[in-house]
Structure formats: C-alpha cells, structure tokens
C-alpha cells in the first residue's frame, strides 16, 4: 500500500477506459515515456549515491503515472525492475 497518497485518490486509482483512449492521455503518455527513457539513460551514467537516489525517485514517479492505465500499480520492488 502506498503511504503518500494524494488527497481524494485511493491507492488503486486508475484511469477510466474512455480516458485511456483520449487524445490528452496519448500526449501525456508519450511525454511520460520520453522523460522516463531520458531519466533511465542518465541513471546509467556515473552518479554518486545521492544523484542515483534522486533519479530513481523520479523514475518511480513516471512509472507510476504510466501505470495508471494498467490493471494494478507497480509495487515498490517492481517499480525498479530492469532499471536500477
């Protein structure tokens, strides 16, 4: 269970099917994917522990945003699978 929920949103908040098909979601999703890719590439570079932790936090945010259209939000351990 997520401990830092946004007010008014349950931890299992998901987009409605009609929202997933909207032009706005398409544009946002493409933006989120590009940002996530850029963050992952930066994370592959030579960073200190604090910079790595900051990037991982940002990566987690974008993965959670992209997961809004999925059946279940990724857990903390699954959110970093494949990209540390």
What pLDDT, on the 0 to 100 scale, is given for residue 83? 45
Q: If you average pLDDT over residues 12-25, what whole number do you get?
A: 87
How far is Cα 84 from Cα 55, in angstroms, rounded to an integer?
9
Is the pLDDT confidence value at 46 over 80?
A: yes
CA-closest candidate to residue 9, choices 56, 80, 73, 78: 73
What pLDDT, on the 0 to 100 scale, is given for residue 84? 45
Q: Where are the domains of the chain?
A: 20-76
Is the pLDDT confidence value at 6 over 90?
A: no
């Amino acid at each position: 269970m997520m401990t830092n929920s946004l007010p008014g949103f349950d931890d299992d908040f998901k987009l409605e099917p009609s929202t997933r098909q909207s032009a706005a979601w398409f544009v946002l999703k493409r933006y989120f994917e590009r940002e996530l890719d850029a963050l992952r590439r930066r994370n592959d570079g030579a960073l200190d522990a604090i910079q790595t932790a900051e990037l991982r936090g940002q990566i987690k945010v974008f993965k959670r945003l992209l997961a809004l259209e999925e059946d279940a939000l990724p857990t903390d351990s699954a959110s970093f699978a494949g990209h540390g």
